[in-house]
Structure 1
Amino acid sequence: MRAILSSVLVSLVCGIAGPALGQASSSPDTTPRANPRMSHCIAIADAAPGIEYLHKASFRDPVPEYSVRISYVAHSAYLIQTRGGLSAVTDYPGYLGNVDFIPDVVTMNHAHSSHYTTAPDPAIPHVLRGWSETFGEAADQHLDLGEMLIRNVSTDIRSMGGVEENGNSIFIFEVEGLCVGHLGHLHHEPNDDQYAAIGRLDVVMVPVDGGMTLDTASMVRVVQRLKSSIVLPMHWFSGASLGWFLDGVEEEFDIDLRQESSLTVSLRDLPERPTIIVLQPEYLRDEME
């Protein structure tokens, strides 16, 4: 596995281009529902078998029916897109690439400056911060856009030698029956109440740096506890930290190393065996004419 991983990382460093992602041609309705629905991901049983991928998706291509497209943009930033054209970016750092693109929703965490921006584009309809303006108070985000429901579960972060309670948020995106989670800059294993609030995660984005967030052994325990069908490693700075994480989970998870930056998945096609899918980060770009 280490040899295959090294090959993939070398390809990334050499600048192999993967697919970029975009919106549907029509403009989605970004107006929150007056009476937001409850989460369907909390306390729901396991998901269905299989998985479907669509590679080389154009930046502007629509998302297939009953599916969600996920693109690894950079660091901890993912672009999540729906069939109806809604787009959400996780841990939004303020830059997604040299393209004319405004997401409908961005989520942010402030443990480090690479996970948020102090000046998000005012054209973004919904900016969801994973921390409260009141120090130590939990953020409370629950945004229902009809096709997509976004909510958060607060966790603590290390701060100035101590602990900032509720400084990080795990964001959950509920779309097309899928529960997609982003752990943010997670600094501790969730407690039982937090796991219950998170609920089922069919897909989860997990920081695997091995120390700036959680150490590798602790993060492996988190992934094993969540039992997600698809795990997307993020926040890895070297092949070493990524390799340590993969070594820790390879007995319980299938491992799929890819050179693409995106995948398209539906609830009906999730893998029978939990799978770690390594995507390659790539800033958004328009296809050459």
Structure 2
Amino acid sequence: MNTITHPGSLLPTTIPEYLDQLREALAGADKAMIQDAVYDAEEYLRSELAENPGKSEAEVIASVAGSYGAPEEVADIYRETEVTVAKALRPPVPPKRKSLLGRFFGVAADARTYGALFYMLLSLATGTFYFTWVVTGASLSFGLMILIIGIPLLLLFLMSVRLLSLVEGRVVEVLLGERMPRRPLYTQRDKPWTTRLKELFTDGRTWTAMLYLLLMHPLGVLYFSVTITLLAVSLGFIAAPVAYFLPFDYVMSFGDWNMITDAPWMLPLVSVFGIVLLFVTLHLARMVGRFHGWLAKHLLVRTPVV
């Protein structure tokens, strides 16, 4: 590889080489952060190249190395910034509890629990929208491929899938705490649309993102149904003792047996069971949040190629 000597390091002579060195320098870091760093570097270098049409890529890289930095320097800056931002955005960490009861009830003090719970409720709406968008867009795009309008429509549809995956990633990061890309995959705007369409087809993340958007519908229905059912049952059980004092008939029956009239002394026990079930629901929400964050990370984030 041809390089240009720069104080303390060897600079690449092309933008792809610069990006490859940046990926190597960031090896082992969060892949969502790597995607953001590569996007920023490519956007900056190509904008500098566009503003200096008389210079080669090697000359542009050499000229901006002092202000933007060599790949290793940029990697170090991103690692330090990532730690700083993560600390600033991290919610208060609940104190660690050693006892089993402390760990069981301590889930209520974890802010991520409520983010996951809200995500499970929200996923029905987002999952239905994503599924409808992908099915409708794919049907129209591929169905109209025999006409000239089908090609640009397909291009717009695939670009919209990337946009939706970016939006979903931001929702996942905010509510579930999983680091997701904050910038899209870079696309050179001066490339022919045929080249851009080819890149969309050959990029595996286009199809895994589409798979994720389709999966969100059944997952959203499952998440919403489980959350609503468990919350309704647990809160209903917790409020069971109140039923004894209501002026109208309240029935909690199993066949012909009505607990309200036949065994009112069991209502406090039912209330205690409802409290336990509520905390079980919170633990389940936290587990689902971790699982869904893992799923989103694997399907929506491009794996760095070093």
TM-score, length-scaled by structure 2: 0.20
Q: Is the helix fraction higher in 1 or 2?
A: 2
TM-score (norm. length: structure 1): 0.21
